[in-house]
Amino acid sequence: MDELLKWRGEFPILDRTTYMISNSLGAMPRGVYDEMHAYADSWGKRGVRAWEEGWWDMAVGVGDKIAPLIGAGPGEISLHQNVTLIQAVISSCFDFRGPRNKVVMTDLEFPSIQYFYHEQRRNGARVALVPSNDTVRFDLDKFLAVIDETTLLVPISQVLFRSAFIVDARAIIEKAHRVGAHVILDVFQAAGTIPVDVRALKADFAVGGVLKWLCGGPGVGYLYVRDDLRAKLRPAITGWIAHRRPFGFETGSIDAREDSFRYLNGTPHIPALFACQPGLDILNQVGIAAIREKSMRMTARIFEGAKAHGWRVNTSENPSERAGTVSVDCPHAAEVCRELLGREILVDYRPKAGVRLSPHFYNLEEECDLAITQIAEILETRSWEKHAAALSQA
């Protein structure tokens, strides 16, 4: 008996679809309806008083529901709109104009983060984009060798978005610290699928969002800053929420708080901070150990199914190197993905990855087999062909 299946009833979409896309957007818990209602009630009935009755503290307070999932402590997380903007807040704590101005990243890093740091070249950043020449992983030794005394920042995903490869974050953090660089650990694709312990790893920063494996919906990214750095660093992207006396409306430069509010700026995204809570509550109750155990079983099942059909898989065969997704690069993968969506099997397609299949704790193990047999059927009956024209124009 799979204990985790008792949670299925909390996610209405599971009755209607085979939901295998938690790497992109986790299923919505039905508690979100009530939570959005509570938001509307607080605004509708309490009006401006809602700020002092809870809204003001939410951009740090709600972070306490994320902290246990990534090994952080209470009050150590601030919440923002997305990870790209969080990278901007972090990098605004540093000066790229000195001799220590290198940003080291792999070309397997999420593209938005690559775009952001390449634009920082105008501020003096030197970007060392280490080529991977591979769709699954990068060469760790080669990557470590590029981190040197001129390195300022190393933004790195603990789990790579295309392949779900688990990176040796400890080795990267140790090397970075030996040469005086800071690591921004992106745990977006890790939190909610594998155990994450940002404190044990001694990560300088950890970032991620709640909309994928944490079932928290769009609009909430999280930032953890290591305890000993928190009050020392000074974000240039700042604003009145970070001020010690925001309602003093003092003019001139900021007298910034020393806690996690220090990393905030303008008015927080209150509706999203309401919407994310049911998912976080559920994830905390389910527990990461149980999720990981089931996830390894399900991803193995998909992996073996894909291999049996002779399809290329852009995910490691070694379960200890593989997080929650299996990227199946079957023939005509983009068209196959379109056809799967038409058949209510929700997955996505990414170039150099293939069809990404991401079962979560709420999936039936048989759904893994169903996805594989449907892909085989789509290829055999050539039903993918009807999507070819549309995709070639895209």
Ligand X SMILES: Cc1ncc(COP(=O)(O)O)c(C=O)c1O
Binding residues for ligand X, rule: CB under 6 A, are 82-84, 110, 112-113, 157, 161, 186, 188-189, 209, 221
Please say whether the beta carbons of 76 and 89 come within 8 A: no
Q: Distances from the Cα of 169 to the Cαs of 143, 161, 172, 202, in angstroms? A: 12, 15, 5, 10
Name the minimum Å distance from CB 329 to ligand X. 18
265 or 374: CB nearest ligand X: 265
For residue 267, the tally of other CB atoms under 10 A from its CB is: 13
How many whole angstroms separate alpha carbon 221 and alpha carbon 210?
Answer: 6
Could you tell me the sign of the dihedral formed by the alpha carbons of 52, 57, 58, 61, in that order?
negative
Name the minimum Å distance from CB 285 to ligand X. 24
135 or 374: CB nearest ligand X: 135
186 or 335: CB nearest ligand X: 186
209 or 279: CB nearest ligand X: 209
Name the minimum Å distance from CB 378 to ligand X. 25
Tell the burial category of 15 from Cβ atoms under 10 Å away from its Cβ (0-12, 13-18, 19+).
exposed
7 or 349: CB nearest ligand X: 349
Closest CA to 29 of 276, 287, 366, 267: 276
Q: Distances from the Cα of 281 to the Cαs of 66, 277, 286, in angstroms? A: 9, 6, 9
DSSP string, 208-232: EESSSTT---TT-EEEEE-HHHHTT
Please say whether the beta carbons of 66 and 201 come within 8 A: no
112 or 381: CB nearest ligand X: 112
Q: Which residue has the tokens 């990870």?
A: 83
270 or 272: CB nearest ligand X: 272
The CB-nearest residue to ligand X is: 82
Name the minimum Å distance from CB 356 to ligand X. 11
Q: Number of C-alpha atoms within 13 angstroms, CB side, residue 9?
A: 2
Name the minimum Å distance from CB 24 to ligand X. 7
Name the minimum Å distance from CB 21 to ligand X. 12
Name the minimum Å distance from CB 161 to ligand X. 4
